[in-house]
Structures are given as C-alpha cells and as structure tokens.
Chain A
C-alpha cells in the first residue's frame, strides 16, 4: 500500500466513523434541543440496539435485516417509555433530567448483564463477509458491513433532514426547539413533539447499535465510549445545534481516525479532548452555537 492509498483508506475509515457519530450525536442533540435534557442513557440505547440484534440474529436466527428493524422498534419503544415516565416530569430541568437519565443508564446496563451476562464475547457472524475495493484500488477496502453503517446513517440523516425541513410536524419540532413557549402559543403540543423527538432519538441510537453490532464488542458498557464522543461533538458543534453536531461529527471523526492511524489510538483520544478545548477557547459557544444575552 502506498502513502496515497493509506490516506485514501483513512479517508474511507473516517467517512464511516463520521456517519455513525453524526447519527448518534444528532439524536442526543435533538433531545437537548426539545427537552433541555442531556440524555446520558443515549449510549445505553445504542447498547440495547446492539444486544437486540445479536440476540435476535445470532442467537435466534431471525433474518438480519428483520433483527435490525426489531432492534430499532425496541429502542424506539424504550424511548417512548423514557419520555413518558422519566423525562416529561423533568422537562426543562437540566439537573433533574441528568439524574434520571443516569439512573436509566444503570437500569439498562444492569438489565443487559442480568439477561445476557457479560462474560465472554457476544459474537455475531457477519451478514456480509466481503469488502468493496474503493475506486477499484485493490488495497483500499471498505467492508460491506461498514458500507451498511454508512448507508443506514446517510438514510436516517437524510430522512430526518427531510422531516425537519419539509413536513409540518418537522416544522413544529423545530419551533419547539427554538422557543417552546411561542410554539405552545401557536397550538403545538409540546408533549406530543417531545414523545416524537424521544422516539426518533432512541431509534437513531438503537439503529446505530444494530448496524454497528457486527463491528464492535457487544458489552453492557459499550455505550460509554460513544456517549463521550457524542458529548464532545455536541459541545464542539454548539449545544443544541443539529447542523453543528453534523459538522463536528465529521471534523472530530476525521481528526480522531487520522491521529489513530498515523500516531496511535491512545494519543487520538487525548488530542480529541484537546481539540474540544481549543474550539471552546476560540469560540466558547461551539462551532454553530449562539451566544445567549441576558
């Protein structure tokens, strides 16, 4: 492999990482935008998606894409329950929301341990075992499993963008995110929008977990590392900004992947946090965040 091919391979790796990070982070930002709650259990919804896919597909022989669909439905249902049972009473209460989401995090983790144990690796025999040689170059490869991640993420993000920009419900959601009181005065039900937002957000996390299940270690704690990345992305992008989250996801994933490739995995994590600090020093509101005036 030549140096140019390695760069191209790293770009491909970065694109896949960006697509997943963006899908995951956008869901987190959406909940913060609508409910002013940082859902720390977002990583555990990702974990549930992965566990559900492993359990249905590998353990019970459910067809792969049906397993993914059922995993998304399951996480969406958990999202519904979370909104009605936990987040609705805490809407607008940043601290209270944080506490209940951390509680939910532990509940979901403990449930995963209780139901499936956490001893040996949960193996998924890949649905796809082939790779795509990018642009016909033999040494630059992207596995079909990763292409699936990219395709699903791109579809979800495009559908979500279309929903927000082209549908009345999407406009209502944006209105709630921008000014809940004004939206309510216009007759928009904040509760209905909150449920919808939570279901979409949970489905995004669960869908991410479902398609990533083939590529990562499935453990009850697997949500930790992704929630840390999503929080970095959320802060760098500007808290509450969906566009900011998208831009930050791409920037952070490219940065992290290139540093992992050329320097090392440990350094990449440290430098990722340094990158966040640098952005915040230069622009304390994040890339797309807006300054609040008193």
Chain B
C-alpha cells in the first residue's frame, strides 16, 4: 500500500512529536548527574473538576523544591539531597489514583506522596499502609487508626470553617439566618455538617439548603431559591473552585446584597472581574494570600511566605487557590521530620513526624488530633485564619482557634456529622 505521507512529512511529524515529548518531560526541578536526590510523589488531580485543588498545589511544590534545591537541598546523614518532584494526575478518580500510587511507589521509589483527599486517598489507603508509605492528605476525614502512615499535617478540612462563623457571631450580630448550597459529595457533605454545627453554636438559623450534583451546568435556579429565602448570609459550603466562581457570579447578577461566608474563594481575581469590588467587599473565607502581614513570622511556620507568594503570583498569575501553598507546607513539615529522623525512610519519618510537639503548622503551633473523631491523632489541629475581602484583597482578620472550638463543641459537631451519614 502506498503511503499518503511523504518522507519529509513523516520526518517532520516524528521530529515534532519527539520535541513535544521532550518538552513535556522537562521539569523545573532540574537535577544534575552525580547529585544525590530524594524523590517526592505528587498524586492529585491535574485535570478535571478537582484540578483547582491539585494543579495549583503542584505549582507550589515545584517552587518549594526550587527554593530548597537553591539552598543546597535537604540534609540527611551528613549529605545534601536535591529534591525531585514526580507528579501523576489522578483526575480525582479512584482507579487512576491506584495506578499512580503503584507507579510512584514501585517505579519512582518516592519517599513521600502528597494527595488531595477523599476518593483517591481512600482508594489507595490500604495499599499505602501495606507498603509503609508516608502519605499526606488535605482532608482529615481520610485518616483512621488502621493507617498509621497517613497524616493530615496542614489542612483540617472542614473543621476550620467554624472559625469564620464564630467570627461572624462576635462581629456581625445582626446575622441571624443562613442559606447553604453545596455540592453533594464527601467534601460538600462534611463541610455541610460543619457549617450546620457552627451555625447552631453561633445561633444562626439555617433557613434554606440546596444540594446539587456535578451535572448541574446552570446555577441560576440554585441561586434563585437561596436568595428567595431572604437569608442574612449565604455559603457555597465547600465547592470546587469553578462552582464557587459561577455561583458567586450568579448571586451578583441576581442582585444578592447580603453577607457571604465560604470555605474557599479561589482565583478571586477572576471573580472580582466578573462581579465588582463593592459586591465582594466583606466576603469571608478561610484561605489567605501568603503575602499577608500576619503570615510573616509572629508564630507562623512558613518560611519566606511572602517571597513564595510573589514567586507564585509572577510565575502563575491568577492561579492562586486554597492549595497553592498547602502541599508545600506539608513538605516543609516533612523536611523537619526528616531532619529529626535523619532518614528518608517513610516509617522512620512518620514516627518522627508524629513525635513533633508542638506541630510546626504554617498557621502556628498545633497538636496532633483526631482520636475522638477518627481513632488516631494524625491531623494537625491548631489555629486557622479568618480571611476577609477588603478593597479587592484577601486580608486575615483573625487567627481563629479551631482546636478550642472543637474541644468545646465536639458533641454538636458529631451530631451533625452523623446527620449527614458520616
């Protein structure tokens, strides 16, 4: 059979494909021959609905690795090791996460795996435990007594949501009613339970709730019903960044004028562009920009937070989300544990990590917590900021004490978790 392509076309095509593959394989964390390296696995969604909580985190990890490598690397056993980041896109899917976990463990032989949480983590949890791999999650509801190498060292989703509601109860006493719209999945439901508990404690009545699925493309009806209940406050609970973007825009277009409180307000520059500075003024959420003055020392534990934020903002403009710094913060803690264990061996580092007291959390000293809730103390619980939109910029208005709130109202929290079947 005669080919339809000329020799020149085939060569050009092959050359283009090779160039493309070569470009794809380039990593910003360059390692040179002869250097000792330690490999870090990043297993989270880089595409799909949850990409907003994966891809920006990988960007942050790469910046962290660059900074560590520029400073000579990580010291262990008297030697310096350069950090190499190996990522795998799990698409927030259990099967893809399992494939990625096996690759990172057996082919790449990483020393730690950073994950987002829920479905992918639950899919690989037993496998990771059997292989004694240190794994971090951003969702502490993943941790359990039978998974000793699984930690939630940074984010304690959704428990920190109580801090903003608590702040509202003290600073906005006129707010008496709330309406909630939430995506119907593990992230949304746990957050729903937490908001219900926080509102109950704050004396705020929930007058409307709307659970939506992932097939919803038009949020106008969802928002219409919420606004129709005339709430003093609306929350989108924990929803994917794209959903928060569209829901907030709808509220703007439908003339909502009340208060917002939310878990996240990712890529808020885009939301500002779609709405207005005046509309978003006062919006409360839980994730700061790391150039906030509060994050520069004063008991916080994220070295060079402002420089990290500036580098990130310059390199990935408009991509800053809740997770942009979180995986990097987990690595910062891991680095301390490596130093303490003087080893990269995951079980030894896990042991060293668990022995940290206080836990040097990005937002200040924390303690390992979770036995009352999950049967094991593997989540770092301490302080968490309340962030408010002020003149188009995220500003930390308070460092809330999540631990104190949870200790005081654990029964209320447990009641609402049970009510949503968790």
Residues of A within 8 A of B (CB): 1, 3, 5-6, 9-10, 13, 16-17, 113, 117-121, 123, 125-126, 129, 131, 138-139, 141, 143, 145-146, 215-217, 222, 225-226, 228, 257-258, 260-262, 264-266, 269
Contacts and interface: CB of A to CB of B under 8 A. Distances in A.
Band of interface residues on B: 35 or more
B61 to A, nearest CB: 15
Interface string B230-255: 10000000000110011001000111
Contacts of A145: 253
A225 B228 contact: no
27 contacts: A10-B221, A13-B218, A117-B47, A118-B48, A118-B51, A119-B46, A120-B52, A120-B56, A123-B245, A123-B270, A126-B274, A129-B275, A129-B276, A131-B255, A143-B253, A143-B254, A146-B220, A216-B217, A217-B242, A217-B246, A257-B218, A257-B221, A258-B221, A260-B222, A262-B225, A265-B221, A266-B184
Contacts of B225: 6, 261-262
Given A119-B51, A121-B242, A9 B212 contact: no
Interface in B18-49: 46-48
B267 A120 contact: yes
Contacts of A131: 253-255
A119 B55 contact: yes
A121 B247 CA distance: 14
B274 A120 contact: no
B52 A121 contact: yes
A261 B221 contact: yes
Contacts of B228: 1, 3, 5-6, 9
A15 to B, nearest CB: 11
B355 interface: no
A216 to B, nearest CB: 5
Contacts of A261: 221-222, 224-225
Report, nearest first, the 6 A-B pairs whose CB atoms are least far apart: A265-B212, A143-B253, A266-B213, A6-B228, A260-B221, A1-B228
B295 to A, nearest CB: 23
Interface in B342-398: none
B211 A265 contact: yes
Nearest to B48: A118
Given A6-B224, A225-B217, A266-B213, A121 B270 contact: yes
Contact of A225 (B215, B221, B227, B246): B215
B210 interface: yes
Nearest to B213: A266
B55 A120 contact: yes
A195 B227 CA distance: 47
Contacts of A139: 227, 255
Contacts of B1: none
A167 B224 CA distance: 42
Nearest to A17: B218
A265 B47 contact: no
A141 B230 CA distance: 15
A29 to B, nearest CB: 21
B319 interface: yes
B216 interface: yes
B70 interface: no
Contact of B211 (A121, A129, A222, A266): A266
B71 interface: no
Contacts of A138: 255
Contacts of A1: 227-228, 230
Contacts of A228: 215
Nearest to B47: A118
B10 interface: no
B273 interface: yes
